[in-house]
Amino acid sequence: MKRVLSGIQPSGQLTIGNYIGALRNFVKLQHSHSCYFMIVDLHAITVPQEPAALKEQTESVAALYLAAGIDPAKASIFLQSQVSAHAELGWLLTTLTYMGELERMTQFKDKSSGKESVGAGLFTYPSLMAADILLYKADLIPVGDDQKQHLELTRDLAVRFNNRFGELFAMPEPYMPEIAGRVMSLDDASKKMSKSNPNAASFIAILDEPDVIRKKLSRAVTDSGREVKYDPQNKPEVSNLIGIYSHFAELSVAEIEAKYEGQGYGPFKKELAEHIVSVLEPIQQRYKEIRSSGAVHDVLKKGAEEAAIVANETLREVKKLMGFLVN
């Protein structure tokens, strides 16, 4: 069975961008693949996190994984920080990564721009991400389009390692949505929708109340025209909403365009909100039950044990090939 690995940072409230780019595909792939889904808390601390908030957000993401439909009997759900091989292989791969490669990463440029002091961890983030993936010799990586560049670096590092030390790593392939692989902000379609955006109106959180979702969508920026047409070049805001619509209503772009022909943006935005609410409301209900049941801790413990078996074995192979003494 092919192996799948992915993760989400507990760096805020998960958005519908995280849902479309990642979580939704996690749920889909668990039926046909051997799956490892992490909560990447070591990545989250590459920007400052307040400890109490980090703890709360970590528990919240774990509960959302379950509420969205990941079955811990089918997939291992675990915290990156609870499988120490991640940090260890992260360091080993950092020594194989070139400064120039890290300097080219657009996520680093975006997240560091305008900041007075930037932690070194933000710079070396992609080496740790490569370790996450390579530890499981994963074949398929469900991610949004923003992670494509990091995944390419992971592949380069896998080839570099295999050439220098001996054939060990499989070549991971991205698994991305065909449309809306990068969901954009509701207030600015030139920016990715992000959970850490301080302007809550820029994103829809998976846990947003139905009325909040309706309000955010009614205020979402559109152009001054009235044609519901998918044209990312000339109509980026409406095209972004059509992409989101397509996922939540399971309709093609052509079907959506035909449905709203001649109707303007009003009915389109209203019905989009209802499609989102109808998918998210049952998840929110399950989320509340899971949070109050306390089930998350046992799931994470079991997941970390399962993950560590695979990760520790790979780490041992890596160290042996690199010339470390291993017992």
Question: Which long-range CB contacts under 8 A does 311-315 form with residues at least 24 apart?
Answer: 311/83, 311/85, 311/86, 311/89, 311/135, 311/136, 312/85, 314/85, 314/89, 314/134, 314/135, 314/136, 314/137, 314/168, 315/85, 315/88, 315/89, 315/135
Phi/psi of residue 51, nearest 5 degrees: -55, -45
Q: Is 195 in the active site? A: yes
Name residues contacting ligand AQP, limited to 126-145 (CB under 6 A). 143-144
Which alpha helices (H) appear in 104-168, and where do they start and end? 106-112, 120-135, 148-165
Q: Does 194 bind ligand AQP (CB under 6 A)?
A: yes
Q: Is 192 in the active site? A: yes
Active-site residue identified among 2, 55, 137, 192: 192
Name residues contacting ligand AQP, limited to 224-283 (CB under 6 A). none
Contacts of residue 199, defined as CB under 8 A and 6 or more positions apart, other chains included, come to: 187
Of 54 and 321, which CB lies nearer to ligand AQP in the complex structure?
54
Of 132 and 161, which CB lies nearer to ligand AQP in the complex structure?
132
Determine the Cα–Cα distance for residues 175 and 279; give it in Å rounded to an integer. 22
Q: Which residues are annotated as a binding site?
A: 9-11, 17-18, 132, 144-146, 183, 192-196
Q: Is 137 in the active site? A: no
Q: Which residues are annotated as a binding site for ATP?
A: 9-11, 17-18, 144-146, 183, 192-196
Q: Does 15 bind ligand AQP (CB under 6 A)?
A: yes
- What minimum distance in Å lies between the beta carbon of 198 and ligand AQP? 10
What is the chain's Cα-based Rg?
20
- Binding piece for ligand AQP, criterion CB under 6 A, among 112-120, 188-196, 228-236, 257-265: 188-196
Structure tokens at 181: 């692989």
For ligand AQP, the binding residue among 3, 86, 137, 182 (CB under 6 A) is 182
Running DSSP on this structure, what letter comes out for residue 41?
A: H
Determine the Cα–Cα distance for residues 225 and 222; give it in Å rounded to an integer. 8
For ligand AQP, the binding residue among 3, 4, 5, 11 (CB under 6 A) is 11
For ligand AQP, the binding residue among 3, 4, 5, 8 (CB under 6 A) is 8
- What minimum distance in Å lies between the beta carbon of 21 and ligand AQP? 2
Determine the Cα–Cα distance for residues 319 and 20; give it in Å rounded to an integer. 37
Q: Does 41 bind ligand AQP (CB under 6 A)?
A: no
Tell me the number of residues near ligand AQP by CB under 6 A.
22
Phi/psi of residue 153, nearest 5 degrees: -65, -40
Binding site for ligand AQP (CB under 6 A): 8-9, 11-12, 15, 17-18, 20-22, 40, 143-144, 146-147, 182-183, 192-196
**Active-site residues: which are they?**
111, 192, 195
